[in-house]
Amino acid sequence: MASLPEQLLDGGAWFRVEAAATASAARRAAERLATQLGLSERRTADLSIVTAETAGNLVKHADQGTLLVRAVRTEQQAGVEIIAIDHGPGMADLVRSAGDGHSTAGTLGIGLGAIARQSSWSDLHSVPGKGTVLVAQVWSADPPEPAWAAGLTRPLTGEPVSGDAFAVRDADGRRQVLMCDGLGHGGLAAAASQEAVRAFAESPAQPPAAVVETLHRRLSHTRGAALAVAELDPDAGLVRYAGLGNISGTVIGPAGRRGMISLPGIAGHQRRQIRQYDYPITPDAIVLMHSDGVVDRWNQADYPGVLSHSPALIAATVLRDAGIRRDDAGVLVARLP
C-alpha cells in the first residue's frame, strides 16, 4: 500500500481583496483555520499579522488582488498557507521593497518585513508591469523541508467548488504527482476529481501507466475525468508520464520547453490504451501540469528568475496569467527533489 501524500494541500478559500472589509474577512478565516488545526496562540497571532499585512498590501497596491487561505499538512504537523496574487505595478527591487521603512503608499513600509519575520517560510517574486506573487506559511512547529511539488485550483466564476484537483505523494520512493479535471463543472465534477485523489493516495507503488489504469477503474462510478500522473526520478534524470484526456504536461527549463503526451480518453469511461512516456529533466527544470482551464501561452522568459522559486509560487504565477475565468483551473508544478 502506498503511503499517504507527503503534503496534503486543502483547496482552501479564495478572497478577492479590494477593500479593508475583505482583508479583515481573510484574516479572520486564517485565524479560524489556525484554531481548527491546533496552532498555538503565539503562532496564530503570527499568522494574523502575516495575513493582515498581506491583505493590506493588496488593498493599497494591487490591481485584481486575490488571496488564498488554506491548510498545509505533513504526517507530523499542520500549518496555514497564504498565497497572494496581484496584477499590480510590481517591484523592480525586492530587497529594497522588503526592507522596513520602504513604502510606495505613504505608509510605514513594514508590511513585507513583518511577513518575512512572522512566517515560518515565505517566497516572493515580482515583475514590473505584471504584478507580484507571495507565498507564506505559518507552521505549528519548525517548518518541514520545502515542498518539491505544489498546486493550486480555482473554480469557475460563480461555482462554489472546483472540478480540478491535484495530489502529491511519495509511494515507496516513487515521487509522483496527479493532475485531474473532473468532467464538467460543479459538485459532480469535484466528486470525480476527489475520487481520483483518494485512489491515487491508496494505489500501490507502481509506474505512472499502472497508476492511471487503477484510477480509470476507480472512477467508473463517477462522471469521469481527464487526468495525468508524472513520476520524477532524480537518479535517472527522467520524468515518467502517463495521461488520459486534455491535461497538459510540459518540462520547462532555462533552455526551453518540451510537451509531454496524454492520450485521448476519459478516465472511468473511455480509453483505447494507456501508455507511459519518458522525458529527460535536469535539476534546473520543472514539470508543469494543468487542466484546460489554463492556456499554454505562459512563457517563462517573461518572468526572470521564476524557475528558481518554490513550486507553489510558480503555480500561482501561471494561474494568475494563464488561467481563464470561464472554466475551472488547476496548475501543478514539480521539480526533482
Q: Which residues contact 331 (CB under 8 A, 6 or more apart)?
A: 151, 152, 153, 288, 289, 290, 291, 294, 315, 316, 318, 319, 322, 323
Closest CA to 49 of 133, 100, 110: 110
Angle at 28 between CA 13 and CA 313, to 5 degrees: 45
DSSP label at residue 63: S
Mean pLDDT value across the chain: 89
DSSP label at residue 160: S
CA distance 229 to 213: 11
H or E element, residue 167: strand 164-171
Q: Could you give phi then psi for residue 333, rounded to 5 degrees?
A: -130, 135
Closest CA to 23 of 56, 50, 1, 49: 56
Specify whether the CB–CB gap between 288 and 279 falls below 8 A: no
* 107 SS3 class: coil
* Interval 176-199 mean pLDDT: 96
Q: Which residues contact 32 (CB under 8 A, 6 or more apart)?
A: none
pLDDT in tens, 193-235: 999 999 999 999 999 999 999 999 999 999 999 999 999 999 9
Higher pLDDT, 3 or 228: 228
* Helix 208-218 / helix 186-202 crossing angle, nearest 10 deg: 130
Looking at residue 94, its pLDDT comes to 53
Q: Could you tell me the pLDDT band of residue 20, with boundaries at 50, 70 and 90?
A: confident
Higher pLDDT, 239 or 109: 239
pLDDT in tens, 64-104: 889 999 999 988 899 999 999 998 777 665 554 554 444 44
| Cell of residue 18, nine digits | 479590494
* Domains of the chain: residue spans and CATH: 8-139 (3.30.565.10), 149-334 (3.60.40.10)
Q: What is the pTM of this model?
A: 0.90
